[in-house]
Amino acid sequence: MAPSAQTVMHVRVRLFAGLRETVGWSETQVELGPAADSALATSPTPAQLWRQLGLQPGDPPAGVRVAINQQFASWDTALSGGDELAFLPPISGG
């Protein structure tokens, strides 16, 4: 069933490692439009949410990658309600 205009949609945003500690939180819920008090579009991109959340630097940094629902994605992918968005600082495994 398609969500009605009154349905409140959220995106769960997660941060990891040094990025999490720099920003000071590990996850938050972002409410998407068309809720009256939401400035966000119904399908924002990770780049838009990065700026909306006041993450620094203002333009998404080259070393940070994006995952949507635990899969790598691009900064201009349209998000949907219920998505889990993660901003991933430079990886250093192995």
Partner 1 sequence: MVSIQLHTEPFEPLHALACWQAALVELPAGQPAAESHFLGRVRATTANGERLTALELEHYPGMTEAQLQALAAAAAQRHGATAVLVQHRVGRVLPGETIVLVAVAADRRGPAQRCGQELLEALKHEAPFWKREWSGGVGTWITGNTPL
What would the DSSP string read from start to end of 31-54? EETTSTT--S-SS--HHHHHHHTT
Does position 82 interact with partner 1 (CB under 8 A)? The reply is: no
Does position 81 interact with partner 1 (CB under 8 A)? The reply is: no
Nearer to partner 1, 18 or 34 (CB): 18
Q: Which of 7, 8, 17, 76 binds partner 1 (CB under 8 A)?
A: 17
Nearer to partner 1, 5 or 62 (CB): 62
- Structure-token pair, residue 55: 């993450």
Does position 91 interact with partner 1 (CB under 8 A)? The reply is: yes
